[in-house]
Amino acid sequence: MPDNCEEFKGRASEMRDSDWLAAEDLRGLGDVKVVIDKIVRHRNVKFEDGKNQSVVYAIKFKGGHKHLKMKACIRKIMNDARGPKVTDWAGCGVTLYVDESVRFAGKQVGGIRFRPDVIPPGGKHAEPIKPEQVMPEQSTSEQSIEDEFAAAAALDAQEQD
């Protein structure tokens, strides 16, 4: 093996170079609790498949470096949960999870689903997970990620008591 080569033991999603959060990033992690930082508008976006879009709205999560593309269903869910003013969505805790039944172009591909914590504006939310737990900068074992999620879930349970 050449000197500049090393064994990689991380998650498959780490091999995907993208600014966009995808099901692949969350697959196998169960429910992932995050907090919305803000809604952003991207202009003149070129996606990995070569398609261009003049405007893309997305959610930036606190502590995360990947954005979740704002699809109509997410926009409607957040509008119902927090109202039409997107600045009111900041600070809202949400749960992301993978739904393997999601279909695209007639094929079952899996996709990200989105469930907001419906708490009045100004209410207390769980702390966001660390971005390296969902989108590691460096390889970490799957077991350590699962341990950190278990610890985060325990903290959430304590806060609710």
pLDDT at position 140: 39
> E-strand spans in the chain?
32-46, 52-61, 67-69, 93-99, 103-104, 107-108, 111-116
State residue 150's pLDDT score: 53
Q: How far apart are CA 64 and CA 20, in angstroms?
A: 11
Backbone angles phi, psi at 75, to 5 degrees: -60, -45
- pLDDT value of residue 44: 93
pLDDT at 18: 77
C-alpha–C-alpha distance, residues 128 and 102, integer Å: 26
- Give the residue extent of every domain in the chain: 17-160
> Residue-wise pLDDT tens for the chain (161 aa)?
678 888 777 776 666 677 889 898 898 889 999 999 999 999 998 887 788 989 999 999 998 888 999 989 899 988 888 889 999 999 999 999 999 998 888 888 888 998 888 654 554 444 444 444 444 443 334 444 455 555 555 555 454 44
Provide the token pair at 59: 């959610």
Q: What pTM did the predictor assign?
A: 0.65
Phi-psi region at 42: left, alpha or beta (left = phi > 0; alpha = psi -120 to 50): beta
| Residue-level pLDDT at 64 | 83
pLDDT of residue 37: 95
Per-residue confidence (pLDDT) for residue 82, from 0 to 100? 86
| Rounded distance between C-alpha atoms, residue 111 and residue 123, angstroms | 29
CA-to-CA distance for 132 and 29, rounded, in angstroms? 13
